[in-house]
């Protein structure tokens, strides 16, 4: 079974494992929830904010889903 590890690679901090997920999509969803819940917690139902998170998901490098071997 493939597993994906969610890693936080924040600048100025050592990498940290945030969780393990059974699929790549569930790992990516966890990253999306981090942005929606942390950064945009008051605007979750706003379609413009959701589009902004979609763009942020394309270009962010702070959180990575890495396949466990």
Give pLDDT tens digits for 34-44: 888 776 666 66
Strand partners, 20: 5
pTM confidence score = 0.80
- Interacting residues of 23 by C-beta distance below 8 A, sequence separation 6+: 2, 4
Q: Would you write out the chain's pLDDT as a tens digit for each of its 69 residues?
A: 679 999 999 888 999 999 999 999 999 999 998 888 776 666 667 788 888 888 989 999 999 999 987
């Amino acid at each position: 079974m493939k597993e994906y590890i969610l890693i936080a690679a924040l600048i100025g901090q050592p990498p940290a494992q945030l969780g393990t997920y059974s699929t790549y999509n569930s790992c990516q969803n966890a990253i999306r929830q981090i942005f929606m819940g942390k950064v945009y917690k008051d605007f979750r139902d706003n379609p413009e904010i959701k589009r902004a998170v979609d763009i942020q998901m394309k270009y962010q490098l702070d959180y990575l889903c890495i396949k466990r071997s």
